Amino acid sequence: MRVVCSSNVDVKPIRDGATFCLYGSPSAAGVGRVGASIPGAVRRARLAPDPQAWDFLSFGLGVIAADQSVRRSHSPDGWTRVIDLEVSLAAPQNWTPHAQSLAEALRFLTGDIWSVGFTSDGLPPPTPMRRTRRSSAALDGDMVALLSGGADSLVGAIDIVSQGGHPVFVSQVALGDTDRQRRFATAVNPDGAHLQLTHAARPVGPAERSQRARSIAFLAYGLLAASSLPGFGGSVPIKLIVPENGLISMNVPLTNIRVGSLSTRTTHPHFIAMVQRVWDAVGFSVTIENPYQFSTKGELLRGCTRQDLLKKLVFESTSCGRFGRYGYEHCGRCVPCIVRRAAIHDWGVRDTTKYRYATLRSQRAFDDVRSLGMAYLSVQKDGVERWSAGALSALELTDPVPYCQTVERGIDEVGRFLKAMRAL
């Protein structure tokens, strides 16, 4: 399916495809929109992002638009989509040589077949609002850290600040998480900068719910912020910190029937490396780092440098994959919830999070609970490499051993919790 993202508010809908207005509200019916609030937010923050970073954001928003508008249920196998994406950029000549590499990264990320093309009618970055005596300064920091409202990014924020870093926190505005993100940012670093943006994608018709491409937007926001820092373009690369525990980052399919919709790759190291290579080729002096790639979630909690602050905030964090569907309450039985609960159990601190399904013994037949139990038993019986069935491959990971070890410890962490809950 063809998806066109244009910065022209008068863009017309195309036949047999989806059309989006990028950074604005379309004048014609049958056209979706994406990123309409971002130029204003960037201007109000008095940012002056690098033009190429702005173009990468345009590309990322185009990916989000395509991911939400092309329904998987309409594909021949009910999952794999064929997406032909066209995005308008301010300087497409800088990105056209990397279109194939970006398409390959997207294929790994979402499990779809992508082609990517660029046109030259895109908007340049917005002009920052003029500063006044009362206005605060633009972003100032020595690194950028993603802050989602989840436990992993909370630990990342605490560790960075307690170790002397001066991060700019960057968040995707999300219903149910926006105020939480602000509270975390203020509690961890009261005088620091916090940039909240939203793609607010609005396709025409029902949206695809799997949304496997969401991390492209998060990386684009991070790059936008990094390119606005005083040190951007200097001899020392700016770090973009993407905090995620190693078990969820690798997200190995728990059983041989869970490849696809139940296995996301939002922070998979192979995907991150693919994006990093494109950024390096374009000339961005920004490095994407996950400091918890080789930590389980329990190890991440236990190793946090400020246990007092973590205990005060962590039970406000969100982990649930169905948080919105349950009235902004943790379900307690999905994979992210169980990994969270197992980590807190391993940490040895009483879990005060409210879960819809607090007792897992009665949920043993639920797919996620059953699949995690099966994964634990398979790893115990056959070892992590045989259980992973090639998902921890040397073709994607230079040295798979530390990844295997991390996943094995993470699965063991979950298994011990399921036993304690009498769900296994």
Across the 424 residues of the chain, what is the mean pLDDT of every consecutive 10-residue run? 97 96 97 97 94 98 98 93 98 98 96 97 88 56 96 98 98 88 97 96 94 94 97 95 96 68 77 97 97 98 98 96 88 96 98 96 94 95 89 78 95 98 96
d(CA 361, CA 358): 9
pLDDT at 175 (0 to 100)? 76
Based on the structure, what is the number of domains in the chain?
2
Domain boundary residue, one of 58, 88, 119: 119
Q: Tell me phi and psi for residue 72, to 5 degrees.
A: -65, -30
Spatial distance between the Cα atoms of 31 and 9, rounded to a whole number of angstroms: 9
Q: Which residue, 92, 119, 146, sits at the end of a domain? A: 119
Cα–Cα distance for residue pair 5/62, rounded to 1 Å? 6
Residue 169 lies in a domain: no
Q: Which domain holds residue 94?
A: 2-119
Q: Which of 99, 119, 139 is the last residue of a domain?
A: 119
Q: Which residues contact 267 (CB under 8 A, 6 or more apart)?
A: 215, 242, 244, 248, 249, 290
Specify if 94 maps to a domain: yes
- Of 21, 89, 84, 26, the residue nearest 57 (C-alpha): 89
Rg (CA), the chain: 21
Beta bridge partners of 88: 119
Model pTM score? 0.95
Residue 297 lies in a domain: no
Three-class SS state of 60: helix
Burial class (CB in 10 A: 0-12, 13-18, 19+), 236: exposed
Task: Tell whether 308 is covered by a domain.
Answer: no
Answer yes or no: is 262 within a domain: no
- Which pair of structure tokens corresponds to residue 177? 């998480």
Q: How far apart are CA 18 and CA 65, in angstroms?
A: 9
Q: Assess if residue 140 is contained within a domain.
A: no
399 found inside a domain:
yes
How far does CA 94 lie from the centroid of its chain?
A: 25
344 occurs within a structural domain: yes
Tell me, what's the pLDDT at 131? 57
